[in-house]
Chain A
């Protein structure tokens, strides 16, 4: 029955779930069969030849790589294009450019995020089914530090397949056997006759060559691009002010919209008291209540829309949540740490018996972390056009074209419109950090576009909406216990974390169906707490979900961002309780984890651990394994007698497996460290009367150039497959700083943020440790 189905037809049968298994069985036969990564057959159009879903060749030899991941600052367009250049056997120079594809092909799906493994390692019927579902959607999100991990094999394979097709076309043109031709520098060579043909000249013929099945990939010893820092393809435009972020999308006839959303999450809108007054403001075309989620003003320019929105007088519906403040949320967290049913994530060896009274020295401590916002530099925005014929088009600096499509369908649906198709354009993103996976702003823009059919509507949130009405990383608390054995090392480690579950909150908000699942046992709540690489004979990790009205979203490194602060602060406390040096203590615990130990040792050498520091200064250490990478850091701080804290330097050693673009890994790690320093010292979202108190950078401040520590990053060479690099950098920072403060002052800070921010001048702040703050 399936024999007439080409690989192409598989791609077009996304809706036919019933027939999927059969179709997909056929689809695995092509050049990327090992990962079920078939794309469309090659074809020729105008001046270009599309060799496969990732590689397009122009007649003049230019190579356009389709990178189905969002460039949000991490350099992914460069890193993934490097993989293609390597296997195509061309230098990484200006013949290469990158596009984010508009078509949402099955081959572009991100399997590694949800399935937490690499496509080349996914075997068995369960994985097969899960992959089919993800590729039918397709889920092509940029998240979880998975882009290089997930596309490492497919993009090299795409490059190698393209090279094979060029070789075949070249041999045919030259009339010689395929085994006699080779490639280099963008040519197919025939050594026997000394003849060569440029790739560009062969492009059209190559596109029609049947793709090879599982083309051989270069061995690491032959790499000339991978592992050598390449300048980023997006940077030249970025120094000219040229890239088009979502906020910069301009279309003919475009309308602009500003929004006001309920200050108390979940509160609806009773009425707009002064709608006619606002409608009379200059340039205003529309005032629209969006499904109880906000009130938008549509105008000829954003400035006019925003100015008019400041005049809106809205009656928000009353909700019980307006009684909630930060103190109540904090006590809910504390209550969860001290009672109720807990989900057991992990239990190994003997735990409870080790804590019998008198059995061992018990160390115990409680830690907390606040809600925090993303504050991406580019405020949330989306542009949507719904045409009279029912087709829709969207432009957004989104991390997920699937979220865009769902957002358009949902928002248009609120206005009673069911788009017949949705074309999604992913623009450059001005930071993302998990925030841009949400459907929210796209849905709102689509609702407005449905009211103004035929005209694109760009909705942009003000910074105040972004920080005050955002989604946040959950607050969290932990109670950690260790029973120290005779050697001072934990014989048992018992961790309990309480936080609001991320997955259920995010999925419920974003998926078209409520399949958020149970909030109990959320892996993001507990991630980073098991310290699996430490040799603890007994180990238990439990969590409790603490519900609230605050929406929780993905946020750079999620649970690791608080759990590593908790656990690595606690490890220091254990070391000191055992009267041991924090570095040697960790070394002893890493006796069965050579990869981690190598990172730790290199870092200790680089940081000059043990070299005495002047009074008021201190050094702190922390390590974590996350996103299949291992990262260790030493923070050096100075604490003044008035409590002012400065992070002077952060030394970081990271093992991310095989490195594609070393300079980009270093940049991501530097950026992650600074993100982490800001968060550790400065960031907290607080609530009063159900509403967020912070609104902009004056009260949700950031480190600036003057505050930023010196940063040293060293990459440990590794031949493991690439791990994630976008998030590990942030993970150990807070614990390293807290441990350094303890070394400097003898005081242990167990709540984030560690300091309060005082304003000392225009765009000038200082951080003062909590116990000194006025």
Chain B
């Protein structure tokens, strides 16, 4: 995809305003909350502080890209439904991205590894369900 905007425009705002991808959220703008997280070459990254100039040629995946092209949910999204995780849901795209990145790296994460990797903020307090959903997704994913 191509975006015609100044190089220092944060990726978050290029996604939201230039590409119409509204799933990634603005929550703080200072890399604190993770609501804006996207996968950049597989790494969960706060897009609010990532200038688009830095991602030229990189692969960027937003929450809209987690389901398969035919709409089938990813294992992580399905686990989120099975555990009824979201409350308001505003933080959830960022959590889903952080967890996708974690499970790519560590297929069966321990609680400590989850704590280390998933540092987003959820004001509604969905953390207990997020932890359960991560374990559920980990055990549902095809093992290599």
Contact = CB atoms under 8 A, between A and B. Distances in A.
Nearest to B6: A282
Contact of A377 (B6, B35, B119): B35
A97 B64 CA distance: 22
Nearest to A377: B90
Contacts of B80: 235, 239
B115 interface: yes
Contacts of B118: 705
Given A671-B125, A696-B30, A705-B119, A303 B13 contact: yes
A432 B124 CA distance: 10
B27 A704 contact: no
Which residue of B80, B119, B123 has the most chain A CB atoms within 10 A of its CB atom? B123
Contacts of B22: 241, 244, 248, 250
Interface string A355-387: 000000000000000000001111100000000
B45 interface: no
A698 B28 CA distance: 9
A628 interface: no
A302 B13 contact: yes
A138 interface: no
A238 B122 contact: no
Interface residues of A, number: 61
A243 B119 CA distance: 23
Contact of B123 (A240, A302, A702): A702
A378 B88 contact: yes
A705 B87 contact: no
Contacts of B63: 240-241
A609 interface: no
Given A282-B6, A697-B28, A239 B128 contact: no
Interface string B106-144: 000000001110111111111111110000000000000
A548 B61 CA distance: 48
Q: Which of A242, A302, A378 has the most CB of B within 10 A?
A: A378
A248 B87 CA distance: 17
B91 interface: yes
Contacts of A433: 123
Contacts of A232: 84
A248 B25 CA distance: 9
B75 to A, nearest CB: 11
Contacts of A240: 23, 63-64, 66-67, 73, 77
Range of interface residues on chain B? 35 or more
B24 A241 contact: yes
A73 B86 CA distance: 7
Interface string B89-100: 111110010000
A231 B78 CA distance: 13
Nearest to B131: A705
Nearest to B78: A239
A75 B32 contact: no
A486 B26 CA distance: 59
B27 A377 contact: yes
A670 interface: yes
B70 interface: no
Interface stretch (A269-277, A594-602, A706-714): A706-714
A72 B87 CA distance: 7
Contact of B89 (A243, A250, A376, A663): A243
Contacts of B34: 763
A753 interface: no
Given A232-B84, A697-B32, A675 B123 contact: yes
Given A430-B25, A463-B27, A763-B32, 14 more contacts: A72-B88, A234-B89, A241-B63, A241-B93, A247-B26, A377-B124, A431-B124, A670-B126, A670-B128, A671-B87, A674-B127, A697-B28, A704-B127, A762-B119
Closest 5 CB pairs of A and B: A241-B23, A674-B125, A430-B90, A73-B88, A73-B87
25 contacts: A73-B89, A75-B87, A231-B81, A234-B89, A238-B89, A239-B96, A241-B62, A241-B64, A241-B66, A245-B90, A250-B20, A377-B122, A377-B123, A428-B89, A429-B88, A430-B90, A462-B29, A463-B28, A667-B129, A704-B119, A704-B120, A705-B115, A706-B115, A708-B127, A764-B119
